[in-house]
């Protein structure tokens, strides 16, 4: 099977297998070899690496990853793509294709089995309908990771790397920046995909921090506070957090915590830094009433 990466070679595979694109799986295949080069280069893959690819499609990027890495594991949900991948990846002995839903897959076990629990690299042109759940699952489940190099919708990449006071700053920015350092690699116009999506894309690399940049007594509680603070974007943080109804956390507790930090009672979530959210959640932590 020839090397993939062009519009023509992709069209040939689609034709050979009478493949029908499934919109519900976010199938927009990359058909631009320059963008492929940039993704591979920025992922900094070496012969030591075990790479996880989420959604290999017909195997375009998988071929390139297999040439650089020690081992590639590609998880694809669409059963119809499995015979295609067997064909397009037949020349690579270091690739394993798994037919599964990435959101239901035990990635910690995979890393244990394939890489002795050492951090892996994730590289993917993500299905856009589940971008945020995939990123959050990788981080919140503490999958051992070195980096995540992904193609995402342009607006989502912007949200990941924005700071306080901008319209794109929110719970996703804070979660990503707690776990990793985000860097935009390149912008990608819709014309680089088959079929052409309605949105432009961006490749972004998230390099996992060994230790988060802020200290928190309870990570899950920090994110509960963040989520509640952004739940009602046009409301003040006091209202957002009070309305969340966390036991023991009423208006008075939130106001006291904010005053203690020297912040106005009218602040909105989007003006607080990650450090301030960590301090706020640490201050509120002692006031919580845990159920049971
Ligand atoms: N990597 C290919 C490329 O760049 O041409 C395909 C990228 S396409 C945007 C997204 C891929 O993710 C599709 O192959 C789709 O079938 C697959 N996919 C969608 N949802 C998935 C899920 N929950 N688990 C695993 N793969 C999924």
Which residue puts its alpha carbon closest to atom 2 of ligand 1?
57
Distance 219 CA to ligand 1 centre (A): 30
* Selected residue with higher pLDDT from 290 and 135: 135
How far is the C-alpha of 153 from the C-alpha of 200, rounded, in Å? Answer: 6
| pLDDT tops 60 at residue 195 | yes
Confidence of residue 235 (pLDDT cuts 50, 70, 90): confident
To which residue do tokens 């012969």 refer?
A: 47
Q: Select from 33, 88, 127 the residue to mutate for testing ligand 1; criterion: most ligand atoms less than 8 Å from CB.
A: 127
- How far, in whole angstroms, is CA 27 from its chain's centroid? 17
Average the pLDDT over 45-49 and give the result. Answer: 98
- How far, in whole angstroms, is CA 32 from its chain's centroid? 22
Mean pLDDT, all residues of the chain: 95
User: Phi/psi of residue 215, each to 5°?
Assistant: -100, 135
Structure confidence at residue 292 (pLDDT):
46
Confidence of residue 154 (pLDDT cuts 50, 70, 90): very high
Distance 252 CA to ligand 1 centre (A): 47
Structure confidence at residue 291 (pLDDT):
57
Distance 64 CA to ligand 1 centre (A): 16
Peptide bond into 90 cis (omega under 30): no
How far is the C-alpha of 19 from the C-alpha of 101, rounded, in Å? Answer: 19
Average the pLDDT over 10-32 and give the result. Answer: 97
| pLDDT tops 70 at residue 35 | yes
* Nearest in space to 148 (alpha carbons), one of 239, 257, 44, 219: 44
Distance 26 CA to ligand 1 centre (A): 6
Kindly report the number of other CB atoms within 10 A of residue 6's CB atom.
15
| pLDDT tops 90 at residue 29 | yes
Which residue puts its alpha carbon closest to atom 6 of ligand 1?
57
């Amino acid at each position: 099977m020839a090397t993939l990466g062009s519009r023509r070679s992709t069209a040939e595979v689609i034709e050979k297998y009478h493949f029908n694109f499934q919109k519900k799986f976010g199938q927009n295949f990359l058909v631009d070899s320059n963008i492929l080069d940039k993704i591979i280069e920025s992922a900094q893959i070496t012969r030591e690496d075990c790479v996880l690819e989420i959604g290999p499609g017909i195997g375009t990027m998988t071929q390139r990853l297999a040439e650089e890495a020690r081992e590639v594991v590609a998880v694809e949900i669409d059963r119809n793509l499995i015979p295609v991948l067997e064909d397009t990846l037949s020349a690579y002995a270091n690739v394993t294709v798994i037919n599964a839903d990435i959101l239901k897959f035990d990635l910690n076990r995979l890393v244990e089995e394939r890489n002795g629990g050492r951090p892996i690299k994730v590289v993917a042109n993500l299905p856009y309908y589940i971008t945020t759940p995939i990123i959050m699952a990788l981080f919140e489940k503490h999958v051992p990771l070195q980096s995540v190099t992904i193609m995402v919708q342009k607006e989502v990449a912007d949200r990941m790397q924005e700071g306080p006071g901008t319209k794109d700053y929110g719970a996703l920015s804070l979660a990503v920046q707690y776990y990793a350092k985000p860097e935009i690699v390149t912008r990608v116009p819709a014309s680089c995909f088959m079929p052409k999506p309605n949105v432009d894309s961006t490749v972004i690399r998230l390099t996992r921090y060994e230790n988060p940049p802020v200290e928190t007594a309870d990570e899950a509680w920090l994110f509960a506070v963040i989520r509640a603070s952004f739940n009602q974007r046009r409301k003040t943080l006091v209202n957002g957090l009070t309305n969340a109804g966390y036991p023991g956390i009423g208006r008075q507790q939130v106001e006291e915590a904010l005053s203690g930090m020297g912040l106005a009672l009218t602040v909105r979530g989007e003006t607080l830094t990650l450090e301030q959210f960590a301090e706020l959640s640490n201050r509120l932590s002692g006031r919580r009433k845990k159920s049971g």
